[in-house]
Amino acid sequence: MLFKRREKAKWQNRFKAWCWPERGWKRAWTYVWHRVTRLAGTPHAIAIGCAAGVWASFTPFMGLHFILAAVLAAAIGGNLIASALGTFFGNPLSFPLIWLSTYNLGGLMLGREQKSEISISLPEGFWSSMMTEPGLAMSQFWDIVGPVFVPMLVGGIPLGLMFAIVAYFPVKTAVETFQERRRDRLVQK
C-alpha cells in the first residue's frame, strides 16, 4: 500500500483515533462535507442518498448501517456513495444521544416508561450455552435485548425520517452551489 504505516499502531491508539480523530472532528466533518458536495450526480440523487444514510444511522441495526443505507438509496434513486457518507451522522459522539432518544421516543409511542440510561447485560455462561443450546441462548438473548431493540426501532423510524428530511435540504443546496460554480469555472476557461 502506498501510504501504509511502517509499524502498525497499537490498538489503544487506533481506538483513540476512532473515537477522536487526530486532527479533530471539525476536519473530519469538513472532509465528509467536501466528499458529498463533489460527488457526481444530480443534487437530488446525492441529497436523497445522504438522507438515506442519516436515516439508517437511527436504526438499531448496528454494523448494518452501510448496507441498509445503500439498499434504501437504491430503492429511492439516491447516490450509493452519498448514502455511505450520510451514515457518518452516526458516530461515537452522536450514537449515545441517538440511542437514548430513539429508545425514549419508541417507549413513548409504545406506552412504556422513559429512561435516562440503557443497560444490557447477558446472563452468565451465555456464550457457552450459545455453542451447546443455541435455541435456548437466542431465546435468552431476545428476552434481554428485545425490550430495548423494539422501542429503538419504533422510535428510530420517525426520528431518523425527521433528521433525514432536515439533512436533505442543506446537502442539496450545497451540491447545487458547488456544481454551478464548477460549471462557471469551466465556461470561463
- List alpha helices for the chain, DSSP H: 11-19, 25-37, 43-57, 65-76, 80-86, 95-110, 126-132, 134-188
Closest by alpha carbon to 95, among 48, 56, 57, 151?
Answer: 57
Give whole-number Cα distances, 20 to 25, 26, 28, 93, in Å. 7, 11, 10, 9
Is the CA virtual torsion 167, 169, 170, 171 positive or negative?
positive
Whether residue 19 lies inside any domain: the answer is no
Residues 126 and 128: their CA atoms lie apart, in Å, by: 6
What span, in angstroms and rounded, lies between the C-alpha atoms of 47 and 63?
A: 23
Is 93 domain-assigned? yes
Residue 189 belongs to some domain of the structure: no
- Residue 78 is assigned to a structural domain of this protein: yes
The answer to whether position 22 is within a domain reads: no
Tell me what pLDDT residue 44 has. 95
pLDDT tens profile 115-124: 777 777 877 8
Asked if residue 173 belongs to a domain, the reply is yes
pLDDT the model gives residue 78: 94
- The more confidently predicted of residues 85 and 40 is 85
> In this predicted model, what pLDDT tens digit does every residue of 157-187 receive, in sequence order?
999 999 999 999 999 999 999 889 888 888 8
- Domain limits for position 125: 42-181
Q: Does residue 64 sit within a domain?
A: yes
* Number of domains the chain is built from: 1
pLDDT of residue 2: 58
Cα–Cα distance list, 90 to 53, 84, 93, 95, 131 (Å): 9, 11, 8, 6, 33
Instruction: Indicate whether 71 pLDDT > 90.
Output: yes
Residue 15 in domain: no
